[in-house]
Amino acid sequence: MSYLPDYIDGALAQTRTERIKELLSLRYDHPPLAYVHSFGCQQNVSDGEHLCGLLASLGFGFCPDSAGADLVLFNTCAVRENAEERVFGNIGALSHLKRARPDMIIAVCGCMTQQEAVRERLRKSYPYVDLAFGANAAHRLPELLLRLLEERRRVIDGREPGEKIVENLPVRREGKVRAWLPIMQGCDNFCTYCIVPYVRGREHSRAMPDVLREAKELIAEGYKEITLLGQNVNSYGKGLEGEVTFPRLLRELNVLPGDFWIRFMTSHPKDCTKELIDAIAECGKVCNYIHLPVQCGSDEILRRMNRRYTAAQYKELVEYARERIPGVSFSSDIMVGFPGERYEDFLQTLELVKEVRFHALYTFLYSKRGGTAAAQLPDPVPAQEKSRWFRQLLAAQEQVTRSFHEQMVGRTLRVLCEGPGKEQGMMSGRTESGVIAQFAGDEALAGQFLQVKITRALNWAVCGEMIE
């Protein structure tokens, strides 16, 4: 499914852009500046790059914080409550700026504002928010901004999550070395704790020629790492015509000319097939690294989460990948404190984490999300107790990560240099498994693949020396 974006719809978009520019020049006595902040997942970061591309096409420049901005746009995340509260805190902090500069535009979009309860809170408690719209709706920004500028009153848009995939949106990418490439949107899985299927809508895949075209453009622009994005990339192709699958997409990308790496996220274990693992094994440009969220090690909790695999099936998958892909590494998402989880269940998670030896773990305390199935379940374990388990998990993982890094010492690895490191004279890059590697060098190395001999392990990275 691909459509001409309405903003490109010929004369209409042209007139709209001209009209917006005209109204902006009447509103401000200087070229307008925007500050866009994306919270949450990489998908959101990628959406933010498209929002910036659109704003640039409407004549906006950009500034690094809200203080000097004429338009502040928060592109929000709804996955956990504390992420939402942080956004409300950030919006609250803008009230004094808005009072001093009433012509400033404050806008909120993304997964949070897809929920009516959030829009209601904005309407009632944040009267200085001028514009709000939901998820998958970046392409609607010009239309909504025009309404706001023309009618000079707030626009709180409550449409359903955008279902169609809009191609050819302008984009203003943040990096020069690594690029995000969305291949699908939405999620059909309905894990019982998760709000994503409600706010981002049903799964839709981009047509393969569109994905390949964008990948070729990125390679031609000099990007060295492309990360394919989707809530559930393994089911890429569902609903498209022909034999379009994720393993096939990987194979088609792998044969594009050029020296570059391909990564992807997020994979769902239930859809991570042997065919996919074979494709990773056979495609030299696809990194030997899989982010494969397991969430939990207890079968009973996995069942209540509606994850549709068992811990044994998960471990079997990891084992198969380790046989087929030499040196493959795994990272994962773990959730602690799902309603009804007992300490015995948690211990099974701990066991699985130690057994699989993920090189990195993204850990979350369960957060109740209104409208999800899990929100109805009894949740008797006190928060303090859950936090204790959580700390136990972090401590265990710290050791695993540390020993993973220690095992890298002495090896010479291919590293993609991304830019300056934390210390003067140091550069930073990533290994194929996604571990941060620091080494002495100058900025001209950014964007190059280098051979780095690892000499030292830290908790969060490895250090090494570049081999000429």
Binding window for ligand 5AD (CB under 6 A); candidates: 48-56, 106-114, 364-372, 424-432: 364-372
Measured distance CA(9)–CA(26) in Å, rounded: 25
230: CB partners within 8 A, 6+ apart:
43, 182, 183, 184, 185, 205, 236, 266
Does residue 370 sit in helix, strand or coil?
Answer: coil
Query: Does 189 help bind ligand SF4 (rule: CB under 6 A)?
Result: yes
**If contact means CB under 5 to 8 A according to the sort of partner, which of ligand SF4, ligand 5AD, none does residue 190 touch?**
ligand SF4
Cβ–Cβ < 8 Å for 21, 57: no
91 binds ligand SF4 per the rule CB under 6 A: no
Closest approach, Cβ 328 to ligand SF4, in A, equals 22
> Across-strand partners of 260?
none
Closest CA to 129 of 110, 108, 112, 150: 108
Task: Decide: 110 and 47 in contact? Cβ < 8 Å.
Answer: yes
Residue 79 in the binding site for ligand 5AD (CB under 6 A): yes
Decide: is 352 part of the binding site for ligand 5AD (CB under 6 A): no
Closest by Cα among 304, 329, 320 to 312: 320
Q: Which residue of 108, 111, 165, 194 would you call a contact of ligand SF4, by CB under 6 A?
A: 194
Which residues, 6+ apart, have CB-to-CB distance to 359 below 8 Å?
A: 329, 330, 331, 400, 401, 404, 433, 434, 435
Residues 400 and 406: their CA atoms lie apart, in Å, by: 10
362 near ligand SF4, rule: CB under 6 A = no
Q: Pick from 61, 50, 76, 66: which is nearest to 104 by CA?
A: 66
Stretch that binds ligand 5AD, among 114-122, 125-133, 248-256, 362-370 (CB under 6 A): 362-370
Among 106-114, 176-184, 359-367, 449-457, the segment contacting ligand 5AD (CB under 6 A): 359-367
Task: For the CB of residue 239, give the shortest distance to ligand SF4 in the complex, in Å.
Answer: 16
Asked if residue 463 belongs to a known ligand binding site, the reply is: no
Q: Give which of ligand SF4, ligand 5AD, none residue 366 binds (C-beta under 5 to 8 Å, depending on kind).
A: ligand 5AD
- State the minimum distance, in angstroms, from the CB of residue 301 to ligand SF4: 14
Judged by CB under 6 A, which of 333, 379, 406, 465 binds ligand 5AD?
A: 333
| Closest-CA residue to 386 (of 371, 370, 367) | 367
Q: Is 187 annotated as a binding residue?
A: yes
Of residues 209-268, which lie at the interface with ligand SF4 (CB under 6 A)? 231-232, 268
Is 197 one of the binding residues for ligand 5AD (CB under 6 A)?
no
Give CA separation, 106 vs 31, 164, 404, in Å.
Answer: 17, 26, 45
- Near ligand SF4 in 168-187, by CB under 6 A: 187
Cα separation of 215 and 262, whole Å? 10
364 is a contact residue toward ligand 5AD (CB under 6 A)? yes
User: Six-digit token pair at 338?
Assistant: 């799902």
Per-position x/- string for 176-195, each x denoting binding to ligand 5AD as judged by CB under 6 A, each - no binding: -----------------xx-
Determine the 3-state secondary structure of 330 from DSSP.
strand
Q: Please choose which of ligand 5AD, ligand SF4, none residue 335 contacts, taking the beta carbon within 5 to 8 angstroms, the exact cut-off set by kind.
A: ligand 5AD
Residue with tokens 């929000």: 76
Interface with ligand SF4 (CB under 6 A): 187, 189-191, 194, 196-197, 231-232, 268
Annotated binding site: 41, 77, 111, 187, 191, 194
